[in-house]
Amino acid sequence: MMKKKENHIESSEITGRLLPHAVDFEEAILGAIIIEKKAFEIASETVTSEMFYLKTNEMIFEACKCLDSEQKPIDLLSVIEKLRQNGTLEEVGGVTFISELSQIVVSSSHLEYHCRIVAQKYLARKAIEYMNESVSQCFDETNDIDDVIADISLKIEKLQESTFVKSETTQLRDVMKQSIEQMYERKDNYDKGLQTGINTGLADLNRITGGWQKSNLIIIAGRPSMGKTAIALHFAKSAARMGVPVVIFELEMTDVKLSDRLLISESNVDPNSFKVGRLTNDELKSIELAVGKLYDYKINIDSNSVVTMDYIRNRSRLLKKQGKCEMIIIDYLQLIEDSGAKNTNREQEVARMSRKAKLLAKELDIPVLLLAQLSRKVEERSNRKPMLSDLRESGAIEQDADIVIFIYRDEYYNENSDKGKGNLIIAKYRDGYTGEIDFAYNESMTNIFDCDKIGQSELKPIVSNNYYEKEETPF
């Protein structure tokens, strides 16, 4: 009978019970690795060193891992020698114990099953550990409960990710089948005058992008008062008009203020008259009509002024499950709080948040429009049209974005320029061309529209996913 090593078996601090473990299965895995050449390759797809409950078993697995990385054979003698070199041979039970390990199993035929059991026990221990931490955080009155809930969600996500240890690689020939299928689908849609993405509300922008595409991170950047929020609301209404559920995370103004801007935009009444209440009967009727139009728009507004990207992700995932989120607008990047590591500079913080925004777009498979502030360097040049280097505080924004669009209105700087005309500068487009698109706006910049109305309805939305059902109508 195999001699068991002396190991400390831990109990949970919460329940006082032994933590989940499967030591016999751990030893069966190690035994299989020692006796068969391909066993480590199979085991390493499912288990890692930290998944072993006994520290001594972890040391033995780590020794095998070192041999594999050094491209040396893994067998009884090589494992013993590696442990001797590491100075841990006697600690794990000596030559006798390693020899006995090799006699536990006669083949690796059940190795994958043994590995799954060990991985499940590890996940159970981590779940206990995470929940213990979360309970302590809930009792700590200095913690914000929203941050605690976000942290709990992240921990659950880590556990979920840990259940998929195996590599999910795919053969190129299988991927190419999907590429060709999607290519012919796009061609068929194009031939029929259909649009694949979510309507932007600007004909030229639709022609270039095909609409906002799934999993894309779109940066909409500009200097203060250049019209970022006005443009974003135009994009939101254009999408919602087609039945697309839009979520707006508005960090700068209240939900009522954002509602006011939408009503002013849709009714085209004077903003000042709306604010002071100096409204004619005709203007009141226009507002009532605007309410009727906007009432059925699937726009959800979160105006929590202190949020993190983790909060945005958690809220978006929940709304996505409820069928209320097919496009996200975040206004704006530099107002988001960082929930990452402490003692980091602002550039690192913005880089982390930018990356999380891209991962959010990819995870939910929807477009994420992230508004961003440009640095003051723009004001210091004679040519004040923005460039990628003007993205404030982080070059990572440029790296993470699929599309970077700058908003530029020349009349903001030059009184003699054409009134009511601006440019959307596509400074980066991962899948297409860069360049400039003209747009027009009214005096109060509450309405955005094409400079040339001709052709605005050329592209009809594609009928798919149940939310492209109506034809585009002029804004």
Say how far apart CA 243 and CA 262 lie, in whole Å. Answer: 16
What b/e readout covers 137-174, taking b as 16+ CB neighbours within 10 angstroms? beeeeeeeebbbbbbbbebeeeeeeeeeeeeeeeeeee
Candidates 58, 157, 252, 337; catalytic one: 252
Angle in degrees, CA 111, 117, 121, rounded to 5: 145
In Å, what is the CA distance from 149 to each residue of 142, 155, 314, 353?
Answer: 14, 10, 9, 18
Residue 379: phi and psi, rounded to 5, are: -70, -20
**Which sign does the torsion angle of CA 465, 466, 471, 475 carry?**
negative
Two tokens at 471?
């034809």
For residue 252, indicate whether it is catalytic: yes
Vertex 397, ends 393 and 401: CA angle to 5°?
165
Count, residues in the chain? 475
At 371 the three-state DSSP class reads strand
3-class DSSP assignment, residue 4: coil
> What gap in Å lies between CA 190 and CA 226, rounded to an integer?
34
33 contacts 102 by C-beta, under 8 angstroms:
no
Residues designated as active site = 252
